[in-house]
Amino acid sequence: MNDYHTAILVHCGDGQPEDVKDIVVQLEREIFLSGYYKALGFGAGPCNLCSDCSLKRCRHSDKARPSMEAAGMDVFKTARKAGFPIEVVNSLKRKPNYYGLVLVE
């Protein structure tokens, strides 16, 4: 993590985890193609690109990204520190906030 000096936090308040994942993949690709070969993206929630996952041979390695929480990041602290809203979703009336992250060298 010491190699990364810039972080782009992506917030989707009314979207779905898939929206954040799509944005992160697109950002990571554009940043990589701009010459930053260490661009690293993290999505939100579990990967649901396949109904049966094959970790040994991912069929969607161009789209699959680990989530921030799966990488041990404190999503709540990160969002709050950046001034974004995030609360525990404790009822169906509350809409979740989804976050993704792209790290850049």
Q: What is the pLDDT of residue 73?
A: 95
Say what the pTM is: 0.88
Task: Give me the residue label for tokens 């950002």.
Answer: 27
Q: Is the pLDDT of residue 7 over 90?
A: yes
Q: How far apart are CA 105 and CA 31, in angstroms?
A: 10
Q: 19-58 as b/e, with b when 16 or more CB fall inside 10 Å?
A: bbbbbbbebbeebbeeebeebbbbbbbebeeeeeeeeeee
What are 16-73's pLDDT values in tens digits? 778 899 999 999 999 999 999 999 999 998 888 888 887 788 888 888 999 999 999 9
Tokens read off for 15: 């979207």
